Amino acid sequence: MKRIALVLLALWLPLCTLAQEKPAEAPAVRAEYGLAVYKLGEQFANDEKAGETIDSLCAWLGRQVDGATFVRRGVRNKPDDALKLLQSKDKPVAVAIVSPGFYFKHKDALKLTALAEARRGEFDGEQYALVGSAAASEYPQGAVIATSMSADTDWLNKAVLPAPAGSKPVTWKQHDNLFDAAYAILDAEKGAPAYVLADRVTLKALQADADLKGLAAGLKSELLPQDLVVEVDGRLGDRRDALKKALGAMDATEEGRKLGANLQSAKFPAPADARLKKVAALYE
């Protein structure tokens, strides 16, 4: 019996050695996806001011999408700078948050696919209004209009405030701070614009300012898309649906709601196809 036990022990010891020498399994490789953000007319939309927030978004997405790591490629507020980011071959961008004007202008060349809409201020869609000393009831031919989006006149002239046939086009004047422009109108300052072009969130803030009660909102745009989350050139592959699902449920958890507040976009629902098609026709 003792002899049998010794034989079994002799057989068992090498097996133990093999088990100990077996190398640990390598951690699963996570695919890397570049993420970029372009916010038209937002002076603080840059890596220095907004980089930390976008890094938080990347980290959150990485926890929601199995096998994926998201890395910030850059935050830009000028269209040419954003275009360079999305055209990069060395550091490819797979997903981006861009203005609707950028999307419609470059969707074919960059092969952009709209995945979600960045809902701002709980508003479904964007609508712009002209704010001035008197409410504009019709297209203000030849007027100077203050806007924070003068870098994209295609968007302004094709979608936001298209000129009726035969009308003299308006002149867009860049103002990073639309409140300054509103006060200039109210005070009838020399060189003041005739109107301020305000989105829904800005309009709400202007109307809440007791010192600006003398201004009136008039002519409004059609209901338009807000900023869009887009896939670039199909680079998300089989993780596309998981990303869409994660974005659509961002406001379902406390962590997601805090992140949405930092992004100034509370929800990321699927884009309204009818609105996209309607505006796309204006660019064709």
Q: What per-residue confidence (pLDDT) applies to 233? A: 98
- Sign of CA pseudo-dihedral 42, 149, 34, 234: positive
Instruction: Give the C-alpha separation, 137 to 182, whole Å.
Output: 18
Largest CA distance in the chain: 110
Q: What is the pLDDT of residue 24?
A: 57
Q: What is the CA radius of gyration of the chain?
A: 26
The larger pLDDT score, comparing residue 128 to residue 29, is at 128
> Token pair for residue 145?
């209009």
CA quadruple 39, 177, 276, 61: dihedral sign: positive
Count of CB atoms within 10 A of residue 179's CB? 15
Structure tokens that stand for 220 in this block: 């409004």
Determine the pLDDT at residue 10: 43
Strand 195-198, strand 129-132: pairing: antiparallel
SS3 118: coil
CATH topology of domain 129-220: D-Maltodextrin-Binding Protein; domain 2 (3.40.190)
CATH hierarchy code of domain 31-123+225-283: 3.40.190.10
pLDDT digit string, tens, across residues 108-122? 999 999 999 999 888
Q: Is the pLDDT of residue 280 over 90?
A: yes
pTM: 0.87
pLDDT per residue as tens digits for the range 36-79: 999 998 888 999 999 999 999 999 999 999 999 999 999 999 99
What confidence score (pLDDT) does residue 21 get?
Answer: 52
* Count of positions (residues) in the chain: 284
Q: Extract the tokens encoding 167.
A: 């009308």
- Residue 150 in contact with residue 197, Cβ under 8 Å? no
List, in sequence order, the alpha helices (H) in the chain.
2-21, 47-64, 79-87, 100-106, 153-155, 178-186, 200-208, 240-248, 254-263, 273-283
Q: How far apart are CA 172 and CA 181, in angstroms?
A: 12
CATH 3.40.190.10 residue ranges of the chain are 31-123+225-283, 129-220
Share of the chain above pLDDT 90, in %: 86
* Cβ–Cβ under 8 Å, residues 156 and 147: yes
* pLDDT score recorded for residue 75: 97
Confidence of residue 14 (pLDDT cuts 50, 70, 90): very low
And the tokens for 138?
A: 């019709």
- Tell me the β-bridge partners of 132: 195, 216
